[in-house]
């Protein structure tokens, strides 16, 4: 039997496959061909350069492939519009299927095009970055950015299946791999102490670490479970929001430093450290030893726990208040009662947050 797990969402349930990916994909494409359904694949320039053989082996011809520039700038209205035009000019219809072959940028962009083209067509995720494998390809959040902010337009649209092939990571740059590891560590912090301990025991996790695929699988199963209980993040507490541990701080850092100054994983890594300090402050059960363990694991994996250069506390706090995850009731933080046990929390004293920013190298001077 193929190694897979199921994301349970009633009629929108779907499998995540972890082995024999290339032959499964070829089978899927052949089946579409038999049923006379057209298929298209979205990827970026980097992957087109490193994996054109892989894409060809799945059964795609050049005319079926839409290639976008690599990086966040492709999650834009203009690239989205070009992708819709590509589908329309190739007469894609309601039976057509879109394949997203790339990192989180490609999955979010292609997923949103699939969600909106002809009011929704099927799509498949083939994540190629570690971040996309453990996080963005699972759960159905799709979307693009506006000049005013990240991910401001989008839809919940679940893929029909996710195909995870560890071998694709070989060409992933090391800093992008480390950025994905931040999300891996997050799962340990929010809900799986054993996973955190396993990671701490390994220390520096490498692309060819022999248990990496099991670790990826474990992360996907945590995400699948969280998503199946709170698909659209509407739970009044905890639920899918727990996946945002450290992200409120991380997003503020990305925003104030200027997008691109920090990789997403680097910014949220600092966010995890701040979340640990916050947990220590608000919870007798989370100790300074826990914070030190979190810091050590992040640093062992090349992830930062302090700012590269000072950013203004005032601007960071302003960015927090603009975070799209805020609710009418106020800013929602995620704290840990213990490693592996997280909670949402509102009503945190702003002064406490100021102190924590200073601890990671922010400055009281306004810039
Ligand atoms: N939808 C969600 O639930 C969700 C969750 C987390 C993050 N995201 C989004 O994901 C995006 C970040 O994803 P990302 O870090 O994968 O970024 P990305 O897609 O830009 O990929 C990072 C870089 O790595 C390259 N790359 C990817 N796989 C490669 C491979 N196998 N070999 C060589 N190069 C490779 C890409 O070309 C790119 O330059 C952000 O836009 C973020 O908002 C979405």
Residue nearest atom 2 in ligand 1 by C-alpha distance = 136
Compute the distance from residue 103 Cα to the ligand 1 centre, in Å: 3
* CA-proximal residue: ligand 1, atom 36 (nearest): 70
Report d(CA 281, CA 277) in Å as an integer: 6
Residue nearest to atom 13 of ligand 1 (CA): 104
Number of continuous H segments (helices) and E segments (strands) in the chain: 13, 11
The string of DSSP letters for 247-273 reads HHHHHHHHHHH-TTSS-HHHHHHHHHH
| pLDDT for position 107 | 98
Look at residue 355 and give its three-state secondary structure. Answer: helix
**Whose CA is closest to atom 22 on ligand 1?**
103
Give the domains, in start order, of the chain with CATH numbers.
4-171 (3.40.50.1970), 174-359 (1.20.1090.10)
CA 22 to mean position of chain CA atoms:
23
Name residues whose C-beta falls within 8 Å of residue 221's C-beta, 6 or more positions apart in sequence.
5
Q: How far is CA 292 from CA 160, 250, 265, 300, in A?
A: 41, 19, 19, 12
Q: Give pLDDT, residue 244.
A: 94
The pTM for the full model equals 0.95
Q: How far apart are CA 147 and CA 190, in angstroms?
A: 32
Select from 115, 127, 129 the residue to mutate for testing ligand 1; criterion: most ligand atoms less than 8 Å from CB. 129
CA pair distance 299, 317, nearest whole angstrom: 25
Residue closest by Cα to atom 7 of ligand 1: 136
What pLDDT score was predicted for residue 283? 85
Of 267, 265, 275, the C-alpha closest to 241 is 275
Ligand 1 centre distance from Cα of residue 284 (Å) = 37
Residue 275, φ and ψ in degrees, nearest 5? -60, -35
Q: Whose CA is nearest to atom 16 of ligand 1?
A: 103
**Whole-angstrom Cα distance, residue 130 to residue 184?**
9
pLDDT in single tens digits along all 367 residues of the chain: 678 999 999 999 999 999 889 999 999 999 999 999 999 999 999 999 999 999 999 999 999 999 999 999 999 999 999 999 999 999 999 999 999 999 999 999 999 999 999 999 999 999 999 999 999 999 999 999 998 888 899 999 999 999 999 999 999 999 999 999 999 999 999 999 999 999 999 999 999 888 999 999 999 999 999 999 999 999 988 899 999 999 999 999 999 998 889 999 999 999 999 999 999 999 879 999 999 999 999 999 999 999 999 999 999 999 998 776 666 667 899 999 999 999 999 889 999 999 999 999 999 886 6
Separation in Å, CA 302 to CA 106, 111, 187, 198, 209: 25, 31, 18, 18, 16
Measured from CB, residues less than 6 Å from any atom of ligand 1 are: 44, 46-47, 50, 70-72, 75, 102-106, 108, 128-129, 131-132, 135-136, 139, 141, 150-151, 168-169, 171-172, 176, 179, 264
For position 118, what pLDDT does the model report? 98
Whether residue 146 contacts residue 77, with contact meaning beta carbons closer than 8 Å, is answered with: yes
Q: Which of 71, 91, 94, 68 is nearest to 81 (CA)?
A: 68
288-to-277, 283, 292, 362 alpha-carbon distances in Å: 8, 11, 6, 21
Interval between CA 129 and ligand 1 midpoint (Å): 6
Using the mean position of ligand 1's atoms as its centre, give its distance from the Cα of residue 102 in Å.
Answer: 7
Whole-number Å distance, alpha carbon 28 to ligand 1 midpoint, is: 24
363: which DSSP letter? B
Nearest to 92 by CA among 39, 41, 34, 161: 39
- 98 within 8 A of 122, measured Cβ to Cβ: yes
Alpha helices by DSSP H, listed for the chain, are 21-34, 45-58, 77-89, 104-116, 130-131, 174-191, 193-202, 212-229, 247-257, 264-282, 288-300, 313-322, 350-359
Task: Let me know: does 84 contact 117? Beta carbons within 8 Å.
Answer: yes
Query: Best substitution site from 50, 123, 131 to test ligand 1's pocket, by max atoms within 8 Å of Cβ?
Result: 131
Token pair listed for 22: 């290339």
Pick the atom of ligand 1 nearest to 141's CA. 1
């Amino acid at each position: 039997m193929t190694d897979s797990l199921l994301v349970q969402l009633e009629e929108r349930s779907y499998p995540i496959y972890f082995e024999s990916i290339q032959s499964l994909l070829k089978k899927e494409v052949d089946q579409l061909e038999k049923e006379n359904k057209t298929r298209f694949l979205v990827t970026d320039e980097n992957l087109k350069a490193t994996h054109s053989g892989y894409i060809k082996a799945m059964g795609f011809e050049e005319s079926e492939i839409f290639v976008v520039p690599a990086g966040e700038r492709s999650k834009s209205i203009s690239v989205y519009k070009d992708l819709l035009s590509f589908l329309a000019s190739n007469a894609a219809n309601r039976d057509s299927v879109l394949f997203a072959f790339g990192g989180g940028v490609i999955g979010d962009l292609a997923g949103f095009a699939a969600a909106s083209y002809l009011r929704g067509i099927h799509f498949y995720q083939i994540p190629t970055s570690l971040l996309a494998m453990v996080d963005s390809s699972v759960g159905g959040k799709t979307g693009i950015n506006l000049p005013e902010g990240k991910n401001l337009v989008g839809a919940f649209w679940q893929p029909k299946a996710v195909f995870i092939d560890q071998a694709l990571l070989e060409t992933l740059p090391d800093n992008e791999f480390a950025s994905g590891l931040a999300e891996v560590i997050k799962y340990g912090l929010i809900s799986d102490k054993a996973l955190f301990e396993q990671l701490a025991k390994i220390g520096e996790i490498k692309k060819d670490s022999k248990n990496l695929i099991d670790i990826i699988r474990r992360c996907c199963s945590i995400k699948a479970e969280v998503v199946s209980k709170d698909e659209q993040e509407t739970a009044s507490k905890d639920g899918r929001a727990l996946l945002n541990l450290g992200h409120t701080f991380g997003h503020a850092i990305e925003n104030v430093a200027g997008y691109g100054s920090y990789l997403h994983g680097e910014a949220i890594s600092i966010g995890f450290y701040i979340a640990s300090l916050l947990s220590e402050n608000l919870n007798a059960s989370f100790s300074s030893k826990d914070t030190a363990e979190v810091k050590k694991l992040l640093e062992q994996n090349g992830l930062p726990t302090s700012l590269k250069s000072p950013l203004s506390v005032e601007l960071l706090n302003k960015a927090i208040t603009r975070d799209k995850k805020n609710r009418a009731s106020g800013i929602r933080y995620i704290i840990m009662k213990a490693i592996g046990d997280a909670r949402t929390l509102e009503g945190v004293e702003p002064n406490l947050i100021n102190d924590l920013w200073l601890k990671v190298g922010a400055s009281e001077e306004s810039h």
